[in-house]
């Protein structure tokens, strides 16, 4: 599966994750990409991996370099939520690639009838990632959760 935006290609990377199929920028893939790959591999081991609910490699169209990853933490829950996570190489940050990728993957999720909302969590100090989610149309979940993370949600028809 391939999603395209004006500047990016999001390439589904089924388990087991093989980074050798991409030309990566020097500092990638980072730990967040490997974490998503691990989540996808664990889902596959127990029979829960169903595309597109896994890892996508983010490839910059201008130079065909893989600059990070974005993906789902699993298939939609019984309540119709799907959580996404993402990471970009430091050299690819600050130019809107993360926002572009989050918008594309969120739109894909919300096209599925069983998905009513896309969620994401960030560390409280990760203001850059929080800004990405807000630019992508997510709303801050107003009730602080017990996990200490900052939660965001994008529902069908708009934020929160």
Domain boundaries, the chain: 2-159
Cβ(71)–Cβ(56) below 8 Å = yes
- Cα–Cα distance for residue pair 3/75, rounded to 1 Å: 18
Distance CA 55, CA 44 (A): 12
Look at residue 118 in the predicted model and tell me its pLDDT.
Answer: 98
Q: Residue 127 belongs to what H/E stretch? A: helix 127-135
pLDDT value of residue 159? 61
**pLDDT for 144:** 73
Q: What is the pLDDT of residue 146?
A: 86
What is the fold, at CATH topology level, of the domain defined by 2-159? Aminopeptidase (3.40.630)
Its pTM surpasses 0.85: yes
User: Which residues, 6 or more positions from 127, have their beta carbon under 8 angstroms from its beta carbon?
Assistant: none
Walk along the chain (160 residues) in steps of 10 and give the mean pLDDT of each run: 96 96 96 95 93 97 98 95 97 97 98 97 96 97 86 83
Position 158 scores a pLDDT of 66
Q: How many helices (H) and strands (E) does the chain have?
A: 3, 9
């Amino acid at each position: 599966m391939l999603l395209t935006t004006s500047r990016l290609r999001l390439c589904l990377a089924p388990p087991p994750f093989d980074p050798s199929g991409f030309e990566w920028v020097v500092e990638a893939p980072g730990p967040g990409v490997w974490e998503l790959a691990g989540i996808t591999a664990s889902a596959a081991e127990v029979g829960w991996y169903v595309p597109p609910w896994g890892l996508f490699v983010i490839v910059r169209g201008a130079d065909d370099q893989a600059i990070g990853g974005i993906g789902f933490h699993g298939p939609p829950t019984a309540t119709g939520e799907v959580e996404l996570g993402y990471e970009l190489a430091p050299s690819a940050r600050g130019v809107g690639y993360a926002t572009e990728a989050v918008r594309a993957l969120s739109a894909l999720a919300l096209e599925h009838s069983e998905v009513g909302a896309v969620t994401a969590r960030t560390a409280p100090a990760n203001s850059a990632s929080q800004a990405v989610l807000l630019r992508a149309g997510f709303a801050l979940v107003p009730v602080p959760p017990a996990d200490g993370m900052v939660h965001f949600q994008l529902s069908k028809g708009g934020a929160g």
